[in-house]
Structure 1
């Protein structure tokens, strides 16, 4: 993948800063509006309930964080962390439009070195973020460190469909049409070319399950969505 002579972390930060204003619109267009349902399923998978404290890593514009907030309200809390300041600015503006913004906070931080104590959260989520990390295993280990024993780490991200015919059509759509949509609506075709390239290089859902297990999670499994275009991958931190 070409990072224009920059390290991956710098390239990704600059890319997401550039598309922050249109990110939610593009997500809705690319997913044909299914992204909202996918986020609700991720919230259900992490087991978010009233009173829980959840960490949402690589929170971006905060859409998953706010879905989590609705599940843990009124006594619980959600911390959304991202390293893109522009994405967080969009998240803060969206948060002001919610009915109960008090139990959600957004902070700028590095997923490679999460600024929290061990066993701080009842669950950890990451939506469309793992493939952007410079070191996938290190990022997962940090999430495992931060979740309490018995809590879940849940990823919602691009996956790899396997059905012949559908698979080929999907990758053609992703390679040709998505960058064009990015050029038209987000004024940044290269950013959406990166999304295609990063999805291509990201481990398939079966491999990601193995990585979850390698990083110390039990009962790791995946659930395909939209024919395997997207997958929820989940694992549970062992109890002492």
Structure 2
């Protein structure tokens, strides 16, 4: 997907790799305050079912350590906090300070305290010890990472042997007719909704483009295997609009 080591994609644009982190930060600084509202509107609430399936596939149990990477406003963190209990730990990590602050405020208001910590972190260079987490999730965040291969290797490093990674991300629809409907939705309705609700058409135009530039199901599966994950598989949801990839560290 990347053109060379010095350039990368920002939506449909080719930019210097060194600039992408700043450009993505600008998008999420802009959308953070309305992020949850827009998720519900744009997915018609279905994102909650996708995330529930991720939780159900995680194998997380009381006492586990979980990293919710690119965790944004903390939907997964809130659920994991209840599962791991007082003996467990959940780290909500995001590279974007605005998203992390929204997540911290939201979870505090929900009464989610005690076993949750908040870390601003780059997925490519995770600031955690080797073999630390039982489970890592990254939901709708990998496509915004500049060097996805480096991020996958970083995730593998901080997972315990036997631990699992779950990548929930927009992907490639399984049928041509669904692709056509989804293209119309993505490039007409999504930016328009962003303009009307979040007063930010450009950011939602980028988000639509970033979905199209993200690796498809089989390509991402291969990337995870190359990074060192074992028994990698994926489950298509909503006709392949979203896919949940799973891999293990052995």
Counterparts of 2:107 and 2:120 in 1: how far apart (Å)?
15
- Per the TM alignment, residue 105 of structure 1 is displaced from its structure 2 partner at its CA by 1.3
Q: TM-score with structure 1 length normalisation? A: 0.95
Three-state SS of the structure 2 residue aligned to 1:112 is: helix
Counterparts of 2:103 and 2:82 in 1: how far apart (Å)?
15
**1:50 and 2:62 aligned:** yes
- Per the TM alignment, residue 83 of structure 1 is displaced from its structure 2 partner at its CA by 1.4
Stretches of structure 2 that go unaligned for 5 or more consecutive residues are 1-11
Coordinate RMSD, CA, aligned: 1.4
Q: Of the candidates 132, 157, 160, which is equivalent to residue 144 of structure 2?
A: 132
Look up the match of 2:5: none
Contact 2:86 2:114 (8 Å CA) reproduced: no
Look up the match of 2:53: 41
Q: How does 1:50-129 map to 2 (within 5 A)?
A: 50-129=62-141
Counterparts of 1:78 and 1:208 in 2: how far apart (Å)?
26
Three-state SS of the structure 1 residue aligned to 2:221 is: helix
- Per the TM alignment, residue 4 of structure 1 is displaced from its structure 2 partner at its CA by 7.9
Stretches of structure 1 that go unaligned for 5 or more consecutive residues are none
Contact 1:124 1:154 (8 Å CA) reproduced: yes
- Per the TM alignment, residue 2 of structure 1 is displaced from its structure 2 partner at its CA by 2.8
Paired residues in the alignment total 238
Contact 1:3 1:11 (8 Å CA) reproduced: no
Counterparts of 1:237 and 1:128 in 2: how far apart (Å)?
21
Counterparts of 2:194 and 2:87 in 1: how far apart (Å)?
39
